[in-house]
Structure 1
């Protein structure tokens, strides 16, 4: 392909042609391209003055159709940054007797990874989004456990404190990385080798928070008691109530399997004593995830399915004081043995594929991510 075709292909399938930020990036790219003598990267000479031109299209389309047309034939629907630009667009559109679309969209839809994309390709024949949400909530459907497919990872190789690392990630990409699963770990190891680098996980000194392993919102709880110091996980008892236990305790556990076609799911009681973290890994490898529970009816169904366990069994609820800088609800905690450490080890590095808490004043490279729009 030409460079133009290569960039178009990257933008169509990923984010863009690669930006090389460090020697580590260069090494990773060499390993990736061993079978090719030369490949395109994103570096080019700036031969333009970055001016732009406006084009009025006298063809009646919906906003979404207009967006598609502009992206296919130009750059995008116009955006307006100040009054001067607004005046220029007004003059350009003076030959049309009716109002015309610009690029501003207001709706109540958001991307789960926080991306700012306004792209929509939705085919829902309903009176309103509210009707759609009501119908969706009739039968609870679990969220997917893997949420990393909308991101690209990046390594900034200079030594920085955690605060500096986060600032660098936000200035150049989106934020410090959120780790959702073992696939993320594998990708980050390939990026960093066996060294250590900052992730977005940090301790919240004010309060703990609860989260489901699969990222579902916590809308129902039958939890009682407190496990004491350290992360606590929920185990369901024979009467359907939940008790709070140290996540390092070994218990049987309940997985669920979600059908990717019709979004139905099934429960699977595993009569094998593992820690909560080990159970999470097992469920994700063999099913979908540890079970999450949204209401009393679902709680009753899980209780019945777990009757063959003679002891309380793990469900997917985790309570700890660790949060991700980018706000992700990931409950993935691939700690090294003896981790996490106590205060002041309040920030987390990825060290040889596992999480390790250290003081935030320590230094190291930064693992960042960027959202794919």
Structure 2
């Protein structure tokens, strides 16, 4: 067979199957607190490392060094960020009205993410699965605030209040908080809650974790930053003021998998033919101002191209489909 591309190539279909983000990581062997490491990474690279899927985690494992120690990554538990159930309204522990009991919230065991209020109108953080009475707000009821004696988890209490009334209690100011003292003398759920370990340093929502057994545990109520064990690759919550090496996030690349359809009388699984197709596609992309995209074929069942099962006229060449993966290749400076 003539290897100089004797076939007529007809691109009859192209569709994107998936797009993924590839994060590069740099292991930095300088001892810093979590905040100092964050500043360094933002100045020198992009940010502290974000690990949002197994592929990210695999790349993280490959850059780790110095077994037997720890390295900061970008996950932090911001314990100042809470929300009210009603309207999903933000609550900032440092600026909005609150009546926390002394030493609260303390997030014991890294499991206390919902708020209870006692007869003295003092607030406590507790595990959301604790069983308690609750206070509902009802915009249509003259009394507005309804005590529910049935003991429920915070989640069930929220559902009950939204079904029977308006929502769990929101305490916007001291006047509302003082009204709690007129209700039955017991602890109640109110609408304040938080999502722990919700965001990475670069503000990306958390979708993947790799915690070690028993972690996070917030030992001593001081552990709200994440370090990776350089031996096991598992994550632990740590005191943010401790100094460790760290991992920065380098250039971010976008990878897209495309499905291509071709019509040809030539064997498209011939490596020489495949290389010529890639060169043609690469030239075409360069002409459209995409010179730094690197393409490669993806094999499935030890083949790149697969016959499409479809009835055709006799004179029509067979149609083959293949997967092609492309990602930006940054020019070196």
- After TM superposition, the score normalised by the length of structure 1 is 0.32
CA radius of gyration, larger in: 2
Q: Answer 1 or 2: which has greater strand percent.
A: 2
